[in-house]
Structure 1
Amino acid sequence: MRLRTLTAIALAPIIIFGIVIGDWAVLALALVVIGIAAYELSRALEPLPFNAALVAGVTPVLLSIPFGTVGILAGSILSLPWALVWLAGRSDVRTLRAILAILLMSVWVGVPMAHLGLISDLANGRLLIVIAIVGPWISDAGAYIFGRLFGRHLLFPTLSPKKTVEGGVGGLVLTTAIVGWFSLEVLGFDPVKSIILGLMVSVASQAGDLFESTLKRILDIKDLGKILPGHGGMLDRIDSLLFTAPAVYYISLLL
């Protein structure tokens, strides 16, 4: 816990700087995160080449700059022909596992990170990015506290043996309360939209965490990396963000 706290304190100024500057700074941070994630995934999913994973991850982000959501879609679609082109001349890595890994890098990492740039272009974009990033932290805190105090029933024992139904509900309640209040009082959203946003941030956050837990169980590894002391790898830290960023963007548009 001490290492987790120190790492979070060290990262906070970088995250705050990116949010305050917005636009290019958010995209620059997204590209750095994708680069680290590509390295972690290439190590966890050998024989996935790092270069192949990197291009698959950054393409949706780069195409989103001029073309928005259409660029993100195009970037994700291009990951398959890119995988085939890259692997065609590499018999040592020409496996179904490598192809699926490239698709995973594009759809799981590149596409969600591209949505951070789209969020920054919305009205109150910087504050919505705060919700996308901080919302999962609130959900995790609520799940941890309620789980420790009241946890009795396992939520998904085959995927995450420590998560409980009571913890999940606690994370949902705390996130809805705090994000809902913030959306209502600071962003000026109506009460219904504020509640829905808070609920969906927690649901997306917990789903993102469970998705990564499933992936690690399939790969039979504890963490996807070691770059962040106390947290594991970059992907271990942003697993929830990869689900909350698209959720925040589309809820803000649809409602």
Structure 2
Amino acid sequence: MPHAVRTAPVPPPVRTPRAGRDLPVAVVVGLLLLAVVGASLFIRKEGFLLVAALAVGAGMWELAQAFARRGIQLPLLPLLVGAVGILVSAYVAGPEALLVAFMLTAGGVVVWRVIDGNGAPALRDATAGIFAAAYLPFLAGFVMLMLAMPDGALRVLLFILLCVASDTGGYAVGVLIGRHPLAPSVSPKKTWEGLLGSIVLACVVGVVGLRVMFDGDPLIGVFLGVATVVTATLGDLSESLIKRDLELKDMGSLLPGHGGLLDRIDSMLLAAPVVYLILDVLVPVG
């Protein structure tokens, strides 16, 4: 009788998360980030200014590394100095100072790059630098405008919770029942079902948060939730377009389970001006 040939047992295939994240790590990192933000807001809110400056600086560095793949060199030094100036100006002196600081940063980027080298590459790099200044510190400056208000810590907290709700609701519903792609050519994992989940959870957070923090009208909370989801989704898709053009999956790897820091704040950047304006007009200080 021939002996049976013994074969080594085949290990079961490793299952990867459907949405492509290491979920436990992502949750822990997300909770740690929320803890840092909460501590900086309520121990001394100027501390959040430092957190925002570090986040914008890290995002700028990630963007510079990504653009370098296409031979575009961002003038990092004037951009980082200008970013701090934009954030501080917005916090200390208001919307007019935010605009002036952005214009000075844009001018400084152009002068720096032209002095460093002329010709078509200099023009291209300077244009990319102005885009980076508008995309990161200028949009983040609207968060500083919220922070500067007497009840600024609560406004910023509500803004962050709305953005987190938009991301969490979309992720959870998209993983569970997502079937119809929202923008398959830009971000294949985003679905219409996930967008609905984002709207529902953000509206709940908007209504509860506005009622608890500001004793506000629930209808304003619904409006705030929908506006946040629309702009946050556009912000996320905009960054996805940039990554697709640069042939990148993530902008970086600074945050385990999330990718780059810019991958976490992309939706917040576009939502910040909208949330600031809605709260400023419909929920006055007092």
Q: Give the alignment's TM-score, normalised by structure 2.
A: 0.82
Q: Give, as a single letter, the amino acid of the residue that structure 2 aligns with 1:104.
A: F
Matched with 1:61 is 87
Could you tell me how far apart the structure 2 residues matched to 1:204 and 1:19 are?
Answer: 24
Given that 1:59 and 1:110 are in contact with CA atoms closer than 8 Å, whether structure 2 keeps it comes out as no
Given that 1:216 and 1:222 are in contact with CA atoms closer than 8 Å, whether structure 2 keeps it comes out as yes
Q: How does 1:25-64 map to 2 (within 5 A)?
A: 25-46=47-68, 47-64=73-90
Alignment gaps of 5+ in structure 2: 1-22
Q: How does 1:187-206 map to 2 (within 5 A)?
A: 187-206=214-233
Percent same amino acid among aligned pairs?
32
Larger CA Rg, structure 1 vs 2: 2
Cα 1:6–1:146 shift into 2, 3 Å: closer
* Cα deviation code 1:39-86 (max 9, x no counterpart): 112211221132133134223213223421001111222233212211
Matched with 1:233 is 260
Matched with 2:122 is 95
Is 1:164 aligned to residue 191 of structure 2? yes
Could you tell me how far apart the structure 1 residues matched to 2:243 and 2:75 are?
Answer: 19
Runs of 4+ in 1 over 4 A off after TM superposition: none
Is 1:213 aligned to residue 240 of structure 2? yes
Q: Give the RMSD, CA atoms, in angstroms.
A: 1.9
Moved more, 53-62 or 125-134: 53-62
Given that 2:106 and 2:133 are in contact with CA atoms closer than 8 Å, whether structure 1 keeps it comes out as no
Matched with 1:14 is 36
| Residue of 143, 154, 177 corresponding to 2:204 | 177
- Alpha-carbon distance, 1:100 to partner: 2.5
Could you tell me how far apart the structure 2 residues matched to 1:95 and 1:220 are?
Answer: 23
Q: Give, as a single letter, the amino acid of the residue that structure 2 aligns with 1:232.
A: G
* More helix, by proportion: 1
Cα 1:191–1:179 shift into 2, 3 Å: closer
Given that 2:254 and 2:260 are in contact with CA atoms closer than 8 Å, whether structure 1 keeps it comes out as yes
Q: Give, as a single letter, the amino acid of the residue that structure 1 aligns with 2:273.
A: P
- Alpha-carbon distance, 1:10 to partner: 3.0
Matched with 1:77 is 103
Alignment gaps of 5+ in structure 1: none
* Cα deviation code 1:106-132 (max 9, x no counterpart): 111101222222112335321221121
Q: Give, as a single letter, the amino acid of the residue that structure 1 aligns with 2:93.
A: F
* Cα deviation code 1:92-117 (max 9, x no counterpart): 89434322221122111101222222
- How many pairs align? 255
Could you tell me how far apart the structure 1 residues matched to 2:104 and 2:247 are?
Answer: 29
Could you tell me how far apart the structure 2 residues matched to 1:152 and 1:83 are?
Answer: 45
Q: Give, as a single letter, the amino acid of the residue that structure 1 aligns with 2:95.
A: T
Cα 1:97–1:125 shift into 2, 3 Å: same
Q: Give, as a single letter, the amino acid of the residue that structure 1 aligns with 2:103.
A: I
Q: Give, as a single letter, the amino acid of the residue that structure 2 aligns with 1:67.
A: A
Could you tell me how far apart the structure 2 residues matched to 1:150 and 1:6 are?
Answer: 24
Q: Give, as a single letter, the amino acid of the residue that structure 1 aligns with 2:236.
A: D
Cα 1:87–1:130 shift into 2, 3 Å: same
- Alpha-carbon distance, 1:184 to partner: 2.2
